[in-house]
Amino acid sequence: MTLILILILVALIAYAILIYNRLISQIETIRNNQKQIDIQLDRRFKVFESLINVVKKYMDYEKTTLKDVVALRNQAQEAKAAGNEKERIEAENKISGIASNLNVVFEQYPDLKANQNCLQLQEEIVSTENKLAYAKQSYNDSIETYNANKKSFPPSLVVSTFRSKLDFDFPYWQLSEQKIAEQESYTVKL
């Protein structure tokens, strides 16, 4: 009989230790996930800064060439309308010249074709914003797990015994009331 009582006692203590350790690891997960938001904010700043620098350099070149191409195209069309074939061909040839010139440049920087550039930029921006959002989601998820565990029945007994070590009130990541109202009424103005 005493053996059974001792066994039950040992099992209860083991269970309490299990709950204690689980809660501790859940608390640390929340702390880590909270810092993950900072990490992603920091990353976003650095990524966007370097992106803007890269884009500035190459977009300048492409912007001027694009202007040239559009101007030449108009010239050619006007010439065509006026029936001036010679001027038209001249303009078209110049466009071809720019195009092959561009191709040479692109060959040297295969990754920097204008549309590819934009797509890559777009992808990088989307991914960076997603990572930040998912970091916040993950933070909130870990709080949910911890709170649910802490408030459920047998664990709540363990929590009340070790209140200073196990009982924390982590706020969920959320927008302020004012900000929510602002974002709600936001529409894209083109």
Partner 1 sequence: MQNKPFGELVTTTTDWRKTLRQNHSRTFIIIALFFLIYCAIGLIVDLYLYAGSYPDASLSDLFIALLSFQLFPIATLIMLAIASISLFICYILYDKLMLLGTNYHEITPQSAQNLTEKQLYNVVEEMKIAAGLRYMPKVFIIDADYMNAFASGYSEKSAMVAITRGLMTKLNRDELQAVMAHELSHIRHLDIKLTLTASLLANLTIIVLDILFYNAIFSGRRRTNNRQSLTAIIILLRYMLPIISVLLLLYLSRTRELMADAGSVQLMRTNEPLASALLKIHDDYNQHQDEYRAALTATAHEQIRREAYLYDPTMAGISSLSSINDLFSTHPSLETRLAALGFKIDRKI
- What is the contact surface with partner 1 in residues (CB under 8 A)? 29, 33, 36, 40, 116, 119-120, 123, 126-127, 130-131, 134-135, 137-138, 141-142
**Minimum gap (Å) between residue 12 Cβ and partner 1:** 22
Burial 129-152 (b: 16+ CB within 10 A, else e): eebbeebbebbbebbeebbeebee
Asked if 43 and 128 count as a contact pair (C-beta separation under 8 A), the reply is yes
**Minimum gap (Å) between residue 102 Cβ and partner 1:** 20
Nearer to partner 1 by Cβ, of 135 and 166: the residue is 135
**Minimum gap (Å) between residue 53 Cβ and partner 1:** 19
- What is the DSSP secondary-structure string of 72-100? HHHHHHHHHHHT-HHHHHHHHHHHHHHHH
Nearer to partner 1 by Cβ, of 79 and 138: the residue is 138
**Minimum gap (Å) between residue 128 Cβ and partner 1:** 9
Nearer to partner 1 by Cβ, of 84 and 120: the residue is 120
HSE-up (13 A, CA, CB side) for residue 130: 6
Exposed, middle or buried: residue 33 (CB in 10 Å: 0-12, 13-18, 19+)? buried
Nearer to partner 1 by Cβ, of 25 and 74: the residue is 25
Cα–Cα distances in angstroms (integers) from residue 54 to residues 45, 117, 124, 162, in the given order: 15, 10, 13, 54
Nearer to partner 1 by Cβ, of 15 and 134: the residue is 134
**Minimum gap (Å) between residue 172 Cβ and partner 1:** 15
